Amino acid sequence: MAFHDSVREVRIVLTVEHFDEVVQFYRDRLGLPVVEQWQTPEGSGFILTLGPHTTLELFDASQAVFVDQMEVGKRVSGPVRLAFSVQDVEAATEMFQQAGALVLSQPKTMPWGDCNARVEPPDGMQITIYQTVSPTDQ
């Protein structure tokens, strides 16, 4: 199976300095529907829908640090990161590695329930590959 056959969702993740202003721009001015939002001691985030299989995720700096720490063990990503929801995170991680990407973290269960891995292709873009785990899978 080709990688593109396993992708369920593409998520563009932006770490933004002026979080409230950026959320207001995308949510209120552009009218992007909110899929999920949170504000925790670890940080704040919004997931907004861009279309049937694409979302925009907005992080404040604290949330970006938290996610990098959970996935890789240290702050490594820049202001833009991609995330691909896939059917099989282990197979997708292996596919990226065989294609020449550096595997920054093997698949592991995150505090929010998904199974995430982090890879870095030769262009340096940070990519999270994740498999959504349904409550019956846990």
- Residues 46-99: pLDDT tens digits? 999 998 899 999 999 999 999 999 999 999 999 999 999 999 999 999 999 999
The whole model's pTM is what? 0.85
Q: pLDDT tier at 133 (50, 70, 90 boundaries)?
A: confident
Q: Cα separation of 41 and 64, whole Å?
A: 13
- Write down the mean pLDDT value for the chain: 93
Contacts (Cβ under 8 Å, ≥6 apart) of 110: 70, 71, 116, 130
Q: Cα separation of 92 and 6, whole Å?
A: 8
Q: pLDDT tier at 138 (50, 70, 90 boundaries)?
A: very low
Report helix, strand or coil for 32. coil
Catalogue all structural domains in the chain, each as residue range(s) with its CATH number: 3-137 (3.10.180.10)
pLDDT digit string, tens, across residues 9-56:
999 999 999 999 999 999 999 999 999 999 999 999 999 999 889 999
